[in-house]
Structures are given as C-alpha cells and as structure tokens.
Amino acid sequence: MNRTSEKIDVGIVGCGYWGPNLIRNFLSHKGFGQVIGCDLDQSKLERIQQRYASVKVTSDYEDLLGSNKVGAVAIATPVKAHYQLARDALQAGKHVFVEKPFTSSSAEALQLIKLADEKNLTLMVGHTFEYSPPVVKIGELISGGTLGEIYFISSSRVNLGLHRKDVSVIWDLASHDFSIIFSWLKTSPLRITALGKDYVQRGIPDVAFINMEFPSGCVAHVEVSWLAPSKLRRTAVIGSEKMLVYDDTEVMEKVKIYDKGVDYKDPDSFGEFQLSYRAGDIISPQLENYEPLSLEVAHFFECICNGKRPKTDGFSGLRVVQALEAAQSSLENNGHPEVIR
Amino acid sequence: MNRTSEKIDVGIVGCGYWGPNLIRNFLSHKGFGQVIGCDLDQSKLERIQQRYASVKVTSDYEDLLGSNKVGAVAIATPVKAHYQLARDALQAGKHVFVEKPFTSSSAEALQLIKLADEKNLTLMVGHTFEYSPPVVKIGELISGGTLGEIYFISSSRVNLGLHRKDVSVIWDLASHDFSIIFSWLKTSPLRITALGKDYVQRGIPDVAFINMEFPSGCVAHVEVSWLAPSKLRRTAVIGSEKMLVYDDTEVMEKVKIYDKGVDYKDPDSFGEFQLSYRAGDIISPQLENYEPLSLEVAHFFECICNGKRPKTDGFSGLRVVQALEAAQSSLENNGHPEVIR
Amino acid sequence: MNRTSEKIDVGIVGCGYWGPNLIRNFLSHKGFGQVIGCDLDQSKLERIQQRYASVKVTSDYEDLLGSNKVGAVAIATPVKAHYQLARDALQAGKHVFVEKPFTSSSAEALQLIKLADEKNLTLMVGHTFEYSPPVVKIGELISGGTLGEIYFISSSRVNLGLHRKDVSVIWDLASHDFSIIFSWLKTSPLRITALGKDYVQRGIPDVAFINMEFPSGCVAHVEVSWLAPSKLRRTAVIGSEKMLVYDDTEVMEKVKIYDKGVDYKDPDSFGEFQLSYRAGDIISPQLENYEPLSLEVAHFFECICNGKRPKTDGFSGLRVVQALEAAQSSLENNGHPEVIR
Amino acid sequence: MNRTSEKIDVGIVGCGYWGPNLIRNFLSHKGFGQVIGCDLDQSKLERIQQRYASVKVTSDYEDLLGSNKVGAVAIATPVKAHYQLARDALQAGKHVFVEKPFTSSSAEALQLIKLADEKNLTLMVGHTFEYSPPVVKIGELISGGTLGEIYFISSSRVNLGLHRKDVSVIWDLASHDFSIIFSWLKTSPLRITALGKDYVQRGIPDVAFINMEFPSGCVAHVEVSWLAPSKLRRTAVIGSEKMLVYDDTEVMEKVKIYDKGVDYKDPDSFGEFQLSYRAGDIISPQLENYEPLSLEVAHFFECICNGKRPKTDGFSGLRVVQALEAAQSSLENNGHPEVIR
C-alpha cells in the first residue's frame, strides 16, 4: 500500500463490544473509503449491517487481507488474537491499528514493531484516552511546566464493572492509567509492585493496587477494580508548583487546577527550616469537546498519508505491555518489586 | 492506686496541640477529679490556665507521679517520649492512657504491656477513631455479617496538611487507618508493602501507598499524604454481600451502604459459569452524635474502675506499631514485602 | 379504526428534534407495524431514512390520514400546530398521541378532548416524565402515605440551554414540572403567581419563578431558566413524615428519602408547646432501569387496544395548559395572582 | 461620648444564642476596653462569666447606660426589643450596634436613624454576611463589571432548622438574603411577592418563596425554609457577561465564576437573529480567611472613632426591614404584589 491521498478502504476485525465504535468513526472520516467489518460470528456481522447499511462484512480474514483496495486494518478482538492478526496484516502490506492492550506479551509487541518498521507501514495502538480532551490538556500543563516538578500521581479506576473472562483487571483497566501516565511523564517506570486478588473468578484478579517508581523520582499509584460500589475515575497529579485533579465522571469540571503547594526555605543561620503553605485560585479549564476516537482515527489516517510516527506507536504500546507484565508478575509474587528492563 | 469509685485525679502530660482536647474531656467527665496539666513549656501551661481556670499545672513530671491523689496519667507528647513517660507512670502505680501511635517501637510497646500487666494497671491507647460513630457502626455491620465476607478495603487520607518534623506521614496518618482496619478485621496483616517519598523535607516521607494482606485473604490499601489538593477521608469496604463507603468529610452521609455485588454460579453441565450483578437500595444509616474523645475518656474511667481490658489496649497499640514498623521498613527497602511476625 | 390486536401502522408528524425518538420507540414496540415519518422538510425525512431504513416517509399529511392502514398518529411539531394536526387526525378516525405541551390554549385542549370522546378514540399527551422511574417511584411513595401530608414542593430546572424562539421558558420547561407535580398531587393548583424576564430575546421570557397553591394547602415553587451556569434538575418534596430530594442529574442516587421531620406537641397544662426534631436513615431506593418513552409508547398501544383512558390523557394535558396560561398571565401582569377556574 | 482614640467600654445586651459571639469578638479587639454582658436571665450571665473571666455582667440595663465609661452598646436580643433598647442607648449618648433584623417595623427604624443623626452617634446594623469573604468578593465582581449587567439572582437558604417562636422564617432567614442582595445591587426592590405557609406552628410561616423586582430590571428569587431535608445555602448570580454560584456550604470552593453566556446578534439583512453560546474556564477564587464578625466589630470601632457612616448603617437596616414588611404583607395577601414606597 503506497502512502497516497486517495481514499483508503479499511477492515475492522472484531465487531463485538468496541468494534462498532471504530466502524462508526472510520465511516465518518473522509479519508477512509469502504469500511469492512470482519468477525467469525455471523450474528455480529448482521447487527453491523442493520446499523450501518454502507458497511460490507466478511468472516474471512484472509479474503480481507487479499484485497488490494484495503489499505488498513483495525483490530478490536480479544488481546490474545492481536499478535497474529496484526502480523498477518503487516505481512500483507496493510497499515495496522491495534486496540489496547497492544499484545499479550512484550516479545510479541517487539516483533510487530520490527515488522512494521521493515515494511515501512504505520503501526498504531488504540490508547484512546491519550486523545481525550482532559488527558491532552493535562499533558500540555505538565510539559509546559505549569505544575513544576511532578512529585506523584494517584489514580483510581473502579466500579462494579463487567468481569472479563480472558484478562485480569490489570490488563483491562490499568492499561488505561499506564498509557495516560507514561505519556504525561514521557517515560516508563523503573520498578513496579502490585497487590491483587481474584475474588469472583478464580485465577482472574478483579482488584489490584499498583505502585510505580519513575527515573525522575516521581511515583505513581494506580487502583483498579471491577468490585466497587460507585464509579471512580479520579487521578490526582501533585507537582511542586501546582496540583490537579482529573475526574472523568464529572460532566463540567473534569480538570481542576489548584494553585497550592509547600515552599521549603533553608534555615537562616541557627534557626529551623521553615515550610510555608500556598493556596490560590482553583481553575477548571474549558476543554475542547470532541470524541477521542474521532481524533484517533484522524491521526491514524494522517500518519498513513505522511508516514509520520503515531503519537501512540508500537513503542507506546510496548511500554504499557511491559508494565502490565511486571505488575502481573509482582502480583503473582506476593508484591515483590519487579524491575522493568 | 486501687480500683475505686472515688473521683480520680488525672495528669495530662503534653499540653501542645492535642493535650487541651484531653483536658477538656477529662474535665467534663464526672469520674475524674482534679485535672493537672504537665508540660516543660511554661507558655503552654499558661494558655491552659487561661482557658481552664480549674486546671492545675506543673512542669515537674516527678512531682505529678509522686502525688498519691493522682490515679491516672494521659500522655500526649511527641511519640519518642511516650515509652519513658508511660513506664515511669506505671512504675509509680498510675493507670496510663497513651496517645497514638503507642510507642516508637514494638519492643517498647511490649515492655509497657508487660509492666502494666505485672502492676495490674489499666493501659489504654488513644486510637480515637475506634470510638467514633461511623467507625463503630461499620464495625457492627462487619461483625454482624451484613457485608458478608470482607474482600478488600481501600482508604485515602490526604490533604495539604501540616508537615510534621518528627515522624513520617505513615506514623502520623496511616496509624489511624491501621487502627481502624485492624479493629474491623480483628487481626493484623501478614504482609505489608509500602512505597513513599520525601518531597518536601529530606528523610521524612510525605506521601505513602501501603498494601496489606490479612490471614483471611482480605487485602487493604492505604494512601496517606500531606501533599494533596483537597481533603480525602474516604474508605471503601467491599464485601461479598454488600459494599460501603465511609467518607469522613461528609457532614450528613458519612456512611453509605450499597446493596451491590456479584454472584458467581457454577456452570450447569457443559455451559460456562455465570456472573450476575446485584444492585439495590443505598442506605445511609443515622449515626449517633457525640465527640469520640468523650466516649474514650469514659471508657478509660470504666476500665480503671472495673479492671476490664480497654477496647484499645496495649496489644491494640502494639499491632499498629508493628504494622508501622513494617511499612516503614518496606518503604526504605524499595517496596519489598515485609512479613509481620 | 377498530380496537384490535392486529399491528397498528403509525405516523409520526414532525421529524425534527424529538420526533426521531418517537420513531425509534414505535419501531421497537411489537404492537406497531409500519412506522411513517411525516414532515414538510425533505432534509429531515432523508435523515430519518438514513437512520431507519424500514421507516417510510411522506410530506403529505392528508395522504397519511387517508391511509386505512394507519391507525394512530403521534404529533411532535411546534406547539402551535398541535391543535389542527390532532383535530384532523381524530376526524380521520386515528388514535392520537400529542407531545407536551398539549395545545396552545385550554380552549383547543377542550375541543380535542371532546372530539376524541365523540369518536371513541384514544387521545394521549406525551408527558414523558410521568413514565420515568424516579417520578413513578415518588408518586407511589406519596400515594402510599410514606411522606405523610405533603407540605410543599420546590423544583429547579435550569441550565444554559437552547433558547426557543416559539415559546417561553415556562411553556418549554415548566410544563415538565407542572405535569409531574399535578400527577403526584392528583390535582391542579388553585392559584398561580409568576415572575419572569426576557433578557436575551425580547418577548420570550428566559427565566421564571412560579408559585402555586393547591386545594390541600400544599404549595409548590418552580424555577425554570435557560440562563444558568450549571444544570439543576432538583425537586424537593417535604412531607409531614418524611422528605425527599429527586435530582435527575445524579446517575446513581436520583431519589433520596430522608426520615426527617418536626413533631409538634400541644402544651401540657401551663407549659409551652414543644417541637421535637427527628432524623433517621437516608435511603436511596433502587429504581427500575428503562427508557420512559418506551413505557409511554407501550401504554399508548395498550390504551388503543383495550380502550382504557391513558394515565396522561387529554385532561392531564388540559390542566397543564391551564396552569401555563395562568403562569404566563401572572408574569405579564407583574406577578398578580391568577386563579385557575 | 466623644469620638476618641481611647479604649471604649462596651455593653452587650442579650447573652443568649448570638450574644456570646459578639462578646468574644469585642474582647479580642484592642479598641474596646471593658466588655459588659447584660441580660435579665441570671443563668446566661453566669455562663458568660464561666467562659470569659474578664467580662463583667449586669442585669440592669439602666445601670449600664448610666456608666460614663461605657461608650457603645451592642444589642442581640429578640427583634421586638431592639427599638426601645437602641433608643434608650442613643438617648444616653452611646454608639449603637443592633443585630439584624434591625427593628420590628420601618417606622421604628426611621426613628432610630433620626435619633442617631441628631445625636451624631454611630448606628450600625449587624448584617454579618456583608462582611464575609465570599459576599465581599462577589460585591467587588459585580461593582467591577466582571459579570456585566446583572440579569437575575436566585437564592436558597433552607434546612431542617430550629423553628423560632417570635418571628417567621422570612424575618429569620430571608433578612440575610435581602441584606446581601441589596448590598450587591446597591438598591431596594420596587416590588415583592411572597408565598408562604405555616405548617408546624400556626401563625408562624416556616417556608416562603419570595420574588423581587429591582429598578434596573434585575429580578431576584429567595427561597427560605426551616423544613428541608438537607442544608442549602446557594445563590446564583446571572450576568450578561458571566455567571456565578455562591455555595456557603462548600468548604473550599464557596464561589465559582463561570465564563458563560449568550450573545444576541441582530439579524443581517433578511435573516433571523442569531444566538451564540459561550463557555469558558470556571474559576473558584481564593478567598480571604477571617471571621466576618471580627471585621464587623473592627468596622464599628473605626466608625465610632472617625465618625464615618458604617457600610451597614441604619438605612441599610431600614431597607431590609421595608422588604421584610412587604414580603410579609404579600404573603398574608395571597401573594399579591407589594410595592415598596
């Protein structure tokens, strides 16, 4: 597939829970042409056609890959199938978009990165939150130095949610926090510890408390659970200059910036050191209003056309998978700290 | 000092931040007679006398202990002085009330327990929250089986708070969560991991994330910080039958009980297992309205008189100190899990 | 049109903002057969056909009414067209569903009621909130006596909302509160006063404060506005036994019942009377989870089939229109009280 | 009493609920010398002396007024006694501070204003909220034009509160909203309507809904009640440029300013007019942190010393009493609008 400005036909593989959202967004982007839904389950394909009359469907992945007109594939299947589907697509010369978490293992992730590189194809991971208005805004505040040095981040993502049967709550929910936090800090953690438990389904942890340390000295805590009485989507970012809270359950004030902090003054001559506490206005910035997935799809198109590296490229997907592996390993090892290589 | 029904004179040692609250509550309990404030700092004693004309003051602890009329001593000094002051009081035959955290080390705690036992004196630790209406109510709900099996507990105790110069945020704030959680579960944790950092004062951690595992399989997470934009005092308790949230910053609805949960059904014949989700009414129980410290002082009096073991006795103080030691040790050891003996 | 158990074809007149919701719900009810969208604006008809392939469309209302297979018509046009469209449909022998507010005047409402009666046809008004889970629940609590005697009701329905160009905020928003409150109290108010202003568009009030008195002595206050910084949908109901708050912006706790009140005791012999204050648990009842409009459409079908009078019949629509007229008249008359005949 | 810079002895008349707060604040202001509590009830005087050893007490008001050393009197009795006590104090040459509501009638208020003027004495009314940080801040925002033209104000002041036996909820609670709103708008209303009811004590309304119109075209609504399930202290101010919400029950964000509004554009040539909606940042300004009463007492002292007119002078008290009379009259007259002369 050449990088062209023609319309690109795109296949969406996996038409269950999330796939239809991809289909809807690919349909409404002018750069993409025919949208094709692909799933082994006929009933899902039928539902797609009822809702989106212009979408074609197929249960034959090879057929999809065999079509010259299809320039890109988006994969929204269970995680364990990501690697093979993405590999086949890359080998068939398609640009590939993979839903998060990228792959089941970092080894798989590395192979896909290498393959896309060899083939000079766009490989993008669907870390949707990184395209959402509050996460983008906070990223700008951090990069721009508004918060000062980032001391620590504490995040809770819990509610009585659907228990997944294929992956733990870490792979399901913490993958969001990992991609968000790593993008803000522009780095991976050095060390991870995790404590978790499998209360409802044996072998599949449904609650986890994860601690991470970053090279800068920043630490982060992530709590995820499918067992909680009320929904929390709350992330506090504590900086030396300002602090903020990002609450994704809020409708109007998702981000609040607090002009608060502690100033440390070295002792004069003999005296004790002094701490002074600052408190100022609280500001909830106006955020742009768009669906993150539409921005994500537009970014995928742009990267395909001009060959630039996606914001959420394979390495972005890889570092999240590495952290998920480390967290899982610590969890299975009684909370022993795992060092990320 | 005999266990009598006469009025008991009581000395309060340490008249700084917390001592005056003890003085006020001892003054208003009819079982106690003369209240004597004791501090090395004359200005603090003067302030006490201005506010409480009937309180006597002294800067001589030995003098206080030498008085035959003084039957009890309450210690509200910095932690490092607790052991010696309590030991001297017990040796002088006084009943002793020690503020939390009980002692600087578990070794000290054990010695005080032994000494009180030998002398047949009441030794009580000031875990005030265990006497507060919401904590008592939740304890009853847990003991009574309303929540079912306790799966996990997650607690946050953070705000932009006064940095202490003598102890870390763990000893300052997590001691509350530890005493609350251990009293609810009626046990200590097996294993603790902690991650923390000292951002403002070198050597004194001001944020910590602590994970604990209990013999029953229950896990608990405690987040404490002196660096946070807004005050959180929120504890979620997740049980197999019900879930609850205790938010101490709420005025009217400090405790909310959610009739929510997941039911696991074993697969019939060939089928997959089924999970069904329950959701029912949310109830915020009416709580009694009293100052916890007044109940605590009344309980101290009652234990002195009838010789019964305080609800928050030396062992209660000891297990909190053991957990604080373990958390501190894990924190200093990169989050390595610490086993509590 | 006979009352039968065959499928009933239905025409939806007015396919702008609200019409498509009616179409979607008529489509998914098994009692209705062919759904036909009717609008003078071709672009709206095209949009309907894109979204609902099985819906037929027409811009010719007479054609729609001329069809023998069409048994019912639902009217979702601007208010001023309601009367004529409904009258023509009834005269053509169709059962009629009219969106709220029912008509532009009480005279029109009375004529439609009379005509439907003569023709023995179902005439139903779309007071959707009366079919919503929280409103139904509160109605049951009031009827069942749980709240005791209803003292007063205070309701706020405000936010920075779309300014309508055809009707004032009273006809647009207060019509909801009126239908809800009158259904709870099973009566109309005796007297209404209203204060309002037209800040943005001359002649079209965008804020109004309305007071009402009911035969029982109950009073109600309704605040409506298109000019407010944040969304309020809050109704407090104060009874002699209990009080409740219905907050429609809440996701989980839309209704909260407070076991609170004041008990008045007559004076003993010489003494003063005594007031004692009660406070108990707060309960947020689990509500059913369905779309009110689906229940409304099902109720319309049921009334067509068995000839029973709809819960929100013409008289229900009439008393809301009468109150709207009175409120508007008071507003235009400097807040002078208007008596409803 | 001359206007001097010597310490001024002050008598506080009425030592029940509110008097002790006045005593505490007069005690801690350096301009005032001896503080004397005055009440007919000996038990109240005893309680004062227990708490404030340096305060003298008397049950003889004439004695208090007879003392040359007493330069000022503060009156915190039930409203009906205000007039006579204040008149006697002014006639005895004392500066006078009267708690709100100023008097039982506007006639009384006018006489006190006249008398203070003749005697060249300071007469100040205790509209405490006008000295509170959020009310002062909002006043500055309004005067400074930040909000643009003030369209309307809507205020709720309700909770399950102590029923007073001497005055209605209007005189008790709405007096706060009246003083706040009139100070912000720097004017009285032209017209008032009120609806209210006496549910618990016959003859003493415990809920009222009050509407007001101001010369500028601004309208205000005030809801007050002693019967409500939860505490509301919420005032929304809607301006042409910005909107704000003042919530006095909030701890950290009492004032929130919303950069929101509607812009009206006149139609170009033939077209329809256009409305465009603005939304920007939300700002919660940092407020000063002091007890309003301490500022009030300092202001009283300053006015005594330099002869300047208090911010809350007799006219400020008068216009609130006039509005209370009008609201009461409308309430007794079925909500008929009352014009304020």
In tens, the pLDDT along A91-120 reads 999 999 999 999 999 999 999 999 999 999
**What is the signed CA dihedral for A67, A72, A78, A81, rounded to 10 degrees?**
60
Residue D161's pLDDT band (boundaries 50, 70, 90)?
confident
A207 CB neighbours in chain B (<8 A) are 151-152, 219, 238
Residue C315 · residue C13 · CB < 8 Å: no
Q: Is the pLDDT of residue C67 over 70?
A: yes
CA distance D230 to chain B (A): 8
pLDDT digit string, tens, across residues B146-191: 999 999 999 999 999 888 888 999 999 999 999 999 999 999 999 9
Q: What is the pLDDT of residues C86-109, one digit of tens each?
A: 999 999 999 999 999 999 999 999
- Asked whether residue D341 carries a pLDDT value surpassing 80, the answer given is no
- Which tens digit of pLDDT belongs to each residue from A123-138? 999 999 999 999 999 9
Q: Which among C53, C231, C252 has the least Cβ separation from residue A53?
A: C53
Tell me which chains share at least 3 CB pairs under 8 Å with chain C: A, B, D
Pairing of the two strands D8-13 and D32-38: parallel
Residue A304 has φ and ψ, to the nearest 5°, of -60, -45
Under a CB-based contact definition with an 8 Å cutoff, are residues A268 and A178 in contact?
Answer: no
Could you write out the DSSP letters of every residue in A247-269?
ETT-SS-SEEEEEEEEEEEPPPT
Position C1 scores a pLDDT of: 46
* CA C215, C221, C225, C230 torsion-angle sign: negative
> Which residues on D lie below 8 Å from B231 (Cβ)?
251
Predicted TM-score (pTM) of the model is 0.94
- Asked if B229 and A236 come within 8 Å (Cβ–Cβ), the reply is yes
**CA-based nearest distance B249→chain D, Å:** 10
Q: Which chain D residue is nearest to residue A252, measuring alpha carbons?
A: D282
pLDDT at C22 over 70: yes
Nearest CA in chain C to B257: C283
The span from the CA of A37 to the CA of A55, in Å, is 7
Measure the CA–CA gap between C312 and B19, rounded to whole angstroms: 66
3-state secondary structure of B236: strand
Q: H-helix or E-strand containing C326?
A: helix C314-332
pLDDT at position D4 = 57
Chain A's closest residue to B277, CA to CA, is A160
Q: Please state the rounded mean pLDDT for residues B266-270.
A: 59
DSSP strands (E only) in chain A: 8-13, 32-38, 56-58, 70-75, 95-99, 123-126, 150-158, 191-197, 207-213, 219-225, 232-239, 243-247, 255-265, 274-284, 338-339
| B282 contacts in chain C (CB < 8 Å) | 252-253, 283-284, 286
Integer-rounded Cα Rg, in Å, for chain D is: 22
Cβ-contact D154, D227 below 8 angstroms? no
What radius of gyration, in Å, describes the C-alpha atoms of chain A?
A: 22
Q: Which residues of chain B make contact with A201, given a CB cutoff of 8 A? A: 264, 273, 275
* Chain A nearest CA to B246, separation (Å): 11
Which residue in D has a C-alpha nearest to residue A285's C-alpha? Answer: D281
- How, if at all, do strands C150-158 and C274-284 pair? unpaired
Interface test with B, best of D52, D249, D251, D289 (most B CBs within 10 A): D251
Regions of chain A with pLDDT less than 70: 1-5, 265-273
Of the two residues D251 and B1, the one the predictor is more confident about is D251
**Per mean pLDDT, which range of D1-5, D9-13, D165-169 is the poorest?**
D1-5
Minimal Cβ distance to D281: which of A259, A279, A283: A283
Contact C227 D262 (CB under 8 A): yes
Nearest-CB residue to B191 (from A151, A334, A337): A334
Residues of chain C found within 8 Å of residue D259, distances taken between Cβ atoms? none
Nearest-by-Cβ selection for A230 from C53, C231, C252: C252
Confidence of residue B284 (pLDDT cuts 50, 70, 90): very high
Position D51 scores a pLDDT of 84
Contact D283 A283 (CB under 8 A): yes
CB contact (8 A) between residue B336 and residue A334: no
Q: What is the arithmetic mean of pLDDT over B216-221?
A: 96
| Mutation choice for A interface testing from C233, C252, C289 by most A CBs within 10 A | C252
Q: Do residue A228 and residue B236 have CB atoms under 8 angstroms apart?
A: yes
Distance CA A112, CA A118 (A): 10
Q: How confident is the model at residue A10, as a pLDDT?
A: 98
Q: Identify residue C104 by its one-letter amino acid code.
A: S
* The pLDDT of residue B271: 53
Q: Given this model, what pLDDT does residue B10 score?
A: 98
Q: Is residue B55 scored above 60 in pLDDT?
A: yes
Type of residue found at A295: L
Q: With an 8 Å Cβ cutoff, are D213 and C228 in contact?
A: no
- Residue A257: closest CA among chain B residues belongs to which residue? B229
Nearest to A275 among B200, B217, B228 (CB): B200
Whether residue B280 has pLDDT greater than 80 = yes
**What is the pLDDT of chain C when averaged over all its residues?**
94
Pick among C137, C255, C283, C289 to test the B interface (most B CBs inside 10 A): C283
Query: Distance, in angstroms, between D102 CA and closest chain B CA?
Result: 32
Question: For chain B, what percent of residues have pLDDT higher than 70?
Answer: 96
- Using one digit for the tens of pLDDT, what is the confidence trace for C212-264? 999 999 999 999 999 999 999 999 999 999 999 999 999 999 999 999 999 87
* pLDDT reported for residue B264: 72
Please list every residue in chain B whose beta carbon sits closer than 8 Å to the beta carbon of residue A336.
336-337
| pLDDT surpassing 50 at residue B32 | yes
**Residue C296 identity:** E
Question: Do residue D209 and residue C211 have CB atoms under 8 angstroms apart?
Answer: yes
Residue spans of alpha helices (H) in chain D: 19-27, 42-51, 61-66, 82-91, 106-119, 133-143, 169, 175-185, 292-306, 314-332
Best residue of D146, D278, D283 to probe chain A, by most A CBs closer than 10 Å: D283
| pLDDT at D270 (0 to 100) | 56
Average pLDDT over residues D282-306: 97
Q: Which of B152, B245, B277, B333 to mutate to test the interface with A (most CBs of A within 10 A)?
A: B152
| Domains in chain A: ranges and CATH | 8-121 (3.40.50.720), 130-290+322-339 (3.30.360.10)
D52: helix, coil or strand?
coil
Helix %, strand %, coil % of chain A (to 5)? 35, 30, 35
C285/B283 Cβ within 8 A: no
Residue in A closest to D280 by C-alpha: A286
Closest-CA distance, D282 to chain A, in angstroms, reads 5
Q: How far is A332 from chain D (nearest CA, A)?
A: 42
**C chain contacts of residue B253, beta-carbon cutoff 8 Å:** 282
What gap in Å lies between CA D276 and CA D265, rounded to an integer?
A: 8
pLDDT number for residue D268: 59
Judged against a pLDDT cut of 50, whether residue B30 lies above it is answered with yes
Q: Would you place residue C178 in the very low, low, confident or very high pLDDT band (cuts 50, 70, 90)?
A: very high
Q: Do B281 and C286 touch (CB under 8 A)?
A: yes
Q: What is the pLDDT of residues A241-277, one digit of tens each?
A: 999 999 999 999 999 999 998 987 665 555 556 788 8
